């Protein structure tokens, strides 16, 4: 019996229930019932309120802030579902926490992304569906299938619709905020038929989340530029890059990223910056307290819903991006 003939059940953790509801709406299936609670000493409690025996189960839980709580809650859900005899347990984590700790940068560093992969597998995950991992090779940390989705088509289509004149006049440039993001930015530029530029920056490892912009490789004078990254966290990279681009003659600067972590001073930095617009997807919830007039949030839930449908019915997921 293939998984497509089995019951499809979608559960949500507490990190982003609205995202799970959007997926369910796209698939026209009800959100399965799980009750989450916390004991007085801080331990996480869970009650799965319906049978999952023999079902193809998808657990929606981006491991964003509060990262450690959300990871532990996800692991507890996987354990409960495995013990309840689910046929297959698929982890849907639009934002994969600890992805930036993917290698040793100095002696005695942990590789925390690999640790999280081990924990998910050992606890019962059969598959992972995620988006725009900070380092694509994290897929190799798993010995189970990983469907690695991307927000590039969604984000680039927004700029296609809103920057038609700049595209037609060849005045649009896509910018990678660092050398490590060149492949992502190039794919974005191809979508828009735009030129590519690179911010060459030197990052200080003495202070976390601090970087210093050094130079711009490419022509940005007289152009509208789009800074493309996978994550906007404290926004230091984006704001410093935007300032450097303006100093070199860019007429307007927009920024976009799949994951809007927006921690610490991010909102103040973005609000005070010369960045005109910040476009994000909804892999991470954006509460009212974090909404700025210049922030636009697009829903990537339909892409995740279609991926879930294809996984459930044993169809190709990669063909979503090869058309």
Q: Give pLDDT tens digits for 22-44.
A: 999 999 999 999 999 999 999 99
- Active-site hit among 9, 201, 223, 277: 201
Q: What is the pLDDT of residues 231-249, one digit of tens each?
A: 999 999 999 999 999 999 9
DSSP state of 321: G
Respond yes or no: is residue 82 known to be catalytic. no
Q: What is the pLDDT of residues 161-199, one digit of tens each?
A: 999 888 878 899 999 998 889 999 999 999 999 999 999
pLDDT at 15 exceeding the cut of 90: yes
pLDDT at 296 exceeding the cut of 80: yes
pLDDT at 321 (0 to 100):
85
pLDDT at 256 exceeding the cut of 70: yes
Q: What is the pLDDT of residues 70-87, one digit of tens each?
A: 999 999 999 999 999 999
CA neighbor of 7 nearest in space, from 60, 59, 61, 51: 51
pLDDT at 173 (0 to 100):
97
Looking at residues 131-142, what average pLDDT do you find? 96
pLDDT at 313 (0 to 100):
97
φ/ψ of residue 282, rounded to 5: -105, 35
pLDDT at 203 exceeding the cut of 70: no
Position 202 confidence tier, pLDDT thresholds 50, 70, 90:
low
CA neighbor of 94 nearest in space, from 274, 230, 267, 241: 230
pLDDT at 29 (0 to 100):
98
Take residue 208 and report the two structure tokens written for it.
């976390």
Which residue segments constitute the domains of the chain, with CATH numbers given?
3-150+301-321 (3.40.50.2020), 152-298 (3.40.50.2020)
Burial of 302 per CB tally in 10 Å (0-12, 13-18, 19+) = middle
E strands, 220-309, are 224-232, 252-260, 277-281, 295-298
pLDDT at 148 (0 to 100):
97
Looking at residues 100-125, what average pLDDT do you find? 97
pLDDT at 299 (0 to 100):
98
Give the ranges where the chain is alpha helix by DSSP (H). Answer: 17-27, 67-83, 112-123, 152-162, 164-168, 182-192, 236-247, 266-272, 301-312
DSSP state of 33: P
Q: Name beta bridge partners: 226.
A: 174, 254
Position 207 confidence tier, pLDDT thresholds 50, 70, 90:
low
């Amino acid at each position: 019996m293939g998984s497509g003939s089995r019951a499809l059940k979608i559960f949500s953790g507490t990190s982003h229930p609205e995202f799970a509801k959007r997926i369910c709406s796209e698939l026209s299936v009800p959100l399965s019932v799980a009750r989450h609670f916390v004991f007085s000493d801080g331990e996480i409690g869970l009650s799965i309120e319906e049978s999952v025996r023999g079902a193809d189960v998808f657990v929606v839980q981006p491991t964003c802030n509060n990262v450690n709580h959300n990871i532990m809650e996800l692991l507890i859900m996987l354990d409960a579902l495995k013990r309840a005899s689910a046929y297959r347990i698929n982890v849907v984590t639009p934002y994969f926490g600890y992805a930036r700790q993917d290698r040793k940068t100095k002696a005695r560093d942990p590789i925390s992304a690999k640790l999280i992969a081990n924990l998910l597998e050992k606890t019962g995950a059969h598959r992972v569906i995620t988006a725009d991992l900070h380092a694509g090779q994290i897929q190799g940390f798993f010995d189970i299938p990983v469907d690695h989705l991307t927000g590039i088509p969604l984000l680039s289509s927004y700029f296609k619709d809103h920057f038609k004149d700049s595209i037609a006049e060849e005045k649009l440039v896509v910018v990678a905020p660092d050398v490590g993001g060149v492949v992502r930015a190039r794919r974005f530029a191809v979508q828009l038929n735009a030129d590519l530029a690179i911010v060459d920056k030197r990052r200080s490892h003495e202070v976390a989340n601090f970087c210093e912009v050094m130079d711009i490789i490419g022509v940005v004078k007289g152009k509208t530029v789009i800074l493309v990254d996978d994550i906007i966290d404290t926004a230091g990279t984006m704001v410093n890059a935007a300032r450097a681009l303006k100093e070199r003659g860019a007429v307007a600067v927009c920024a976009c990223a799949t994951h809007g972590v927006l921690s610490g001073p991010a909102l103040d930095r973005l609000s005070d910056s010369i960045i005109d617009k910040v476009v994000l997807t909804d892999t991470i919830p954006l509460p009212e307290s974090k909404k700025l007039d210049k922030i636009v949030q697009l829903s990537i839930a339909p892409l995740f819903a279609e991926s879930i449908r294809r996984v459930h019915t044993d169809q190709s997921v990669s063909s979503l991006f090869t058309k």
